[in-house]
Amino acid sequence: MRFLQPEIGWWLLAGALLVWLARWRLRWRFAATTDLRVLGDRRYRASLTRRLPFVLLVASIVCISLALMEPVIPYSQAEVQSLGLDVVVLLDLSSSMQEDMDAPPAAAKVSLAASQKPAVPRPAAHTRLDATKNAIKTFVRGRRDDRIGLVVFSDNAYVVSPLTFDYDYLLHYIDMVDDQILRGEGQTAIGDGLALANYLLSRQSKGSRSHQVIVLFTDGENNRGRDPLESLADSSRANIRVHMIGVDIDKEVKAKPAVQQLLASIQANGGRYFNANSERDLLAASRSIDTIEKGLLVNKVYVHDVPVYQWFAIPALLLLAAAMGVRAIPYFIDQT
């Protein structure tokens, strides 16, 4: 505890000393011989308990003096500000995303059909789209203080959800995404999807967020629309980082020069590529991106003074009231 106005205490102390000095100098002095010395003996003095009103009054004045000195307690408070991200999830809805994920090789299917043993029932296989949707939902649930949007693409690109903090709303729309919402399409326009994601981030961010991310889920190569390298160049100029998760991409497709250029461009601009050949790989990739793309936490410590004058003002009032109440009792009259 400290006092913001300690000089008030010194002024009050000086005033009390002056009052005591004046009272001492102006005491009544007798010119004749009296018996006051005899009566001043300790045996004839009033009980100290009769001075209780005076003691209470002094204590009240002391508390009032301390309250007037503005007592405060220095108090520090840490404020944590989370600077979240703007993330656009870019989902491929081409026809190849309807293929089974973790499907057994063709040779294994033939061998099983030729066998005379009855087939062992297998659980229904998840399509690439189903597995990807599960991974996206895991990614969304792991975010905090981020705005997340959803863009899908096939022959063309479409915004399913703008950037939002309402994760329940976003998860609901992810569940609604299926192979029917883009009926009649089936190609893979990665460049158009990236261009729309860039546009969405630029329109909604308005410079309020310094870190913007696109997470691309696709299982193939670009075969329609805008060149994805041009869209990636636009992302780089806007300081938008792009990560790509390859959903069970065939080795032959991944080895193509156009795909290799796309991966090299993503990595050159600070992004990462994750190869996911199973649903477990997809979940691991989404968790890896969740670890990489974390919002910046800023910790600021603020120190301010908390006034505690009431700690002295309230007791002062109580003591003053007690002094007045005790003074009204005949036993204490004229003894202070």
Structure tokens at 77: 């408070």
The 10s digit of each residue's pLDDT in 79-91 is 555 567 888 999 9
Q: Would you place residue 112 in the very low, low, confident or very high pLDDT band (cuts 50, 70, 90)?
A: very low
pLDDT score at 323: 82
According to DSSP, residue 29 is labeled -
Q: What percent of the chain has pLDDT over 90?
A: 15
The 10s digit of each residue's pLDDT in 295-324 is 554 545 556 677 888 888 888 888 888 888
Q: For the chain, give every domain's residue range.
A: 2-21+44-75+305-332, 85-100+124-294
Side chain identity, residue 190: I
Of residues 76 and 289, more confidently modeled = 289
Euclidean distance between CA atoms 169 and 95, whole angstroms: 26
pLDDT score at 255: 85
Whether residue 73 contacts residue 306, with contact meaning beta carbons closer than 8 Å, is answered with yes
According to DSSP, residue 247 is labeled E
The 10s digit of each residue's pLDDT in 124-170 is 447 888 888 988 998 888 887 788 899 999 989 999 999 888 889 99
Least confident interval from 118-132, 230-244, 320-334 = 118-132
The 10s digit of each residue's pLDDT in 26-67 is 665 555 555 555 555 555 555 667 778 878 888 888 888 888
> Which positions ≥6 away from 122 have C-beta within 8 Å?
none
Side chain identity, residue 274: F
Q: What percent of the chain has pLDDT over 70?
A: 76
Q: Average of pLDDT values for 113-121?
A: 45
Q: Average of pLDDT values for 178-196?
A: 87
pLDDT score at 114: 44
CATH code of the domain occupying 85-100+124-294: 3.40.50.410
Q: Average of pLDDT values for 269-283?
A: 83
> Which positions ≥6 away from 260 have C-beta within 8 Å?
254
Mean pLDDT of the chain: 78
